[in-house]
Amino acid sequence: MFDALSDRLRDVLGRLTGRGHVSEADVDAAMREVRLALLEADVNYRVVKDFIARVRARAIGTEILESLNAGQQVIKIVHEELTNLLGQGDRTFRLTGQPAVVMLVGLQGSGKTTSAAKLARHLAKQGRQPLLVAADPYRPAAVDQLVQLGRSVEIPVYTAPQGTLVVRIAQDGVAQARRTGRDVVIVDTAGRLTIDEALMDEIRQVAEAIRPSETLLVVDAMTGQEAVNVAQAFAASVPLTGLVLTKIDGDARGGAALSIGAVSGLAVKFLGTGERTDALEPFYPDRLAGRILGMGDVLTLIERAQETLDAKVAEKAAEKLRRNAFTLEDFLEQMQQMKRMGPIGQLLEMIPGMRGLAREAQGAVDRGELKHIEAIIQSMTREERADPSILNASRRRRIARGSGTSLPEVNRLMKQFGEMQRLMRLMQRQGGRRPALPFGR
């Protein structure tokens, strides 16, 4: 999400690096570009104005410009101010009360219902017992949607008979949780416009009736300049405690979140990273700042790995790598494990310096190349998988036919796998660089 923004910033600021002498005019030129980059990322224009003014004031009129690494110093200031912007607000997710109540509010189409299901799944994984409450009686089939999502994440959903007032639905939902011993209630509300006084009044009444310990505003990452006003208008009606930023798996630059944080002090608490119900991440500003600055986000990757990977399988693979006995069979197993962790592009992006590769890899997945690799390996016999050196021309032709691919594709995979094995042997000896991945050109 923030890639395009960070790419632009690095590009602009890159021109300052390695330069001993930086003039005031250089800084101004760079700031004009930074301003454009931020505005193109949908950061609110008032926030941008303040940001530029602060950076400029810190860079000019001090001895920084006189120093030997002036360019680096200016970049450092930008980074610090950026991290500062990202780090606004209190990020603690509070579940207090019996049951604890979480309410999701927002504009139409921001992703409340999907986020509610994701959040329920997330909390259930942490040992909580959530109850989802369908409190959107207006949009056709909104209740159906939550019921279906609830079924898919195996969380019960409370629905009220048609015609029940929304305040009543919410109250009954909480009562139901108390009766059935669920310890968290997640209330999915209808999308509403901030200028709709009747509906804004309704949400205020709901909040007063059920006193949520968390009232999260769900914000689409693609939102423009209006995001700040929307947040402020919702905050005026209900006591907002944080944000869920959705659809960040697109290429939107996510300036909305930065802006809301800077203006209203509300922190992003969760990120929606895809359409699957497990595509929800807690938000860590330091990690995200790292991602923006191209330092990767290894912590999130490790957590995701711990959550989804089968430790035994991983250990076995590592052991085989050490003994140089890593076969195509293991390779297939690894690939399937990786897939469970989420889109490969997102995974690689979390590793420092892998952004370019991440894009290429995701492209390979989208083009179906990984599926081809799977098909090719699955079309081999056990002996072939264990020892690819026995693959003669006739075996390769059979595999190509069996997997619905072509001979060149089979040959390419075998060549790449051979290279990978060679690299791994090299790594064993030198403890050096990471291996090339077996796809892409």
Partner 1 sequence: MFWRRTRPESGSAGGQPETAVAPAAADPVPADVPAAADGAAPGSGAGPAQIADGVQASRRGFMARLHSILRGGPVDDEAWEAVEETLIAGDVGARLAMEVVARARDRRDPGGPEAAVRAELARLLPASTAGPWRPARPDRTLPAVVLVVGVNGTGKTTSIAKIAARLAGEGDRVLLAAADTFRAAAIEQLEAWASRLALPIVAHRAGADPSAVVFDALDAAVARDADVVIVDTAGRLHTRHNLMEELAKIRRTIDKRLPGVTPEVLFVLDATTGQNGLAQAKAFHEAIGLTGIVLTKLDSTAKGGIVFAIEQALGVPVVFAGVGERVADLVDFDTDAFVEALFA
For partner 1, the binding residues (CB under 8 A) are: 35-36, 39-42, 45, 107-111, 113, 138-142, 144-149, 152, 193-195, 220, 222-227, 229-230, 233, 247, 249-253, 255-256, 275, 363, 366-368
Q: What is the nearest approach in angstroms of partner 1 to the Cβ of residue 225?
A: 5
Q: What is the nearest approach in angstroms of partner 1 to the Cβ of residue 140?
A: 4
In Å, how far are 225, 250, 259 from 228, measured between CA atoms? Answer: 7, 21, 6
Task: Kindly state the tokens that stand for 73.
Answer: 């110093």
Task: Note the Cα 109 to chain centre separation in Å.
Answer: 19
Q: What is the nearest approach in angstroms of partner 1 to the Cβ of residue 261?
A: 16
From the list 126, 179, 178, 123, the residue with the least C-alpha distance to 155 is 123
Residue 195 vs 393, nearer CB to partner 1: 195
Task: Kindly state the tokens that stand for 165.
Answer: 């007032």
Residue 65 vs 78, nearer CB to partner 1: 78
Q: What is the nearest approach in angstroms of partner 1 to the Cβ of residue 110?
A: 6
Residue 123 vs 230, nearer CB to partner 1: 230
Q: What is the nearest approach in angstroms of partner 1 to the Cβ of residue 253?
A: 7
Residue 260 · residue 243 · CB < 8 Å: yes
Residue 99 vs 111, nearer CB to partner 1: 111
CA atoms within 13 A on the CB side of 344: 25
Residue 107 vs 328, nearer CB to partner 1: 107
Q: What is the nearest approach in angstroms of partner 1 to the Cβ of residue 224?
A: 3
What angle in degrees, to the nearest 10, is found between the helix axes of 70-86 and 255-264? 70
Q: What is the nearest approach in angstroms of partner 1 to the Cβ of residue 290?
A: 22
Indicate the pairing of strand 157-158 with strand 214-220: unpaired
From the list 182, 59, 193, the residue with the least C-alpha distance to 130 is 182
Residue 93 vs 234, nearer CB to partner 1: 234
> CA angle at residue 323 from 322 to 326, to 5 degrees?
85
Residue 191 vs 242, nearer CB to partner 1: 191
CA dihedral 141, 144, 149, 150 (to 10 degrees): 140
As a whole number of angstroms, the distance between CA 409 and CA 413 comes to: 6
Q: How many residues are listed for the chain in this entry?
A: 441
Residue 196 · residue 159 · CB < 8 Å: no
Q: What is the nearest approach in angstroms of partner 1 to the Cβ of residue 124?
A: 18
Residue 305 vs 375, nearer CB to partner 1: 375
Q: What is the nearest approach in angstroms of partner 1 to the Cβ of residue 21?
A: 29
Residue 283 · residue 271 · CB < 8 Å: yes
Residue 332 · residue 377 · CB < 8 Å: yes
Write out the E strands in 30-172. Answer: 100-105, 130-135, 157-158
Residue 277 vs 327, nearer CB to partner 1: 277
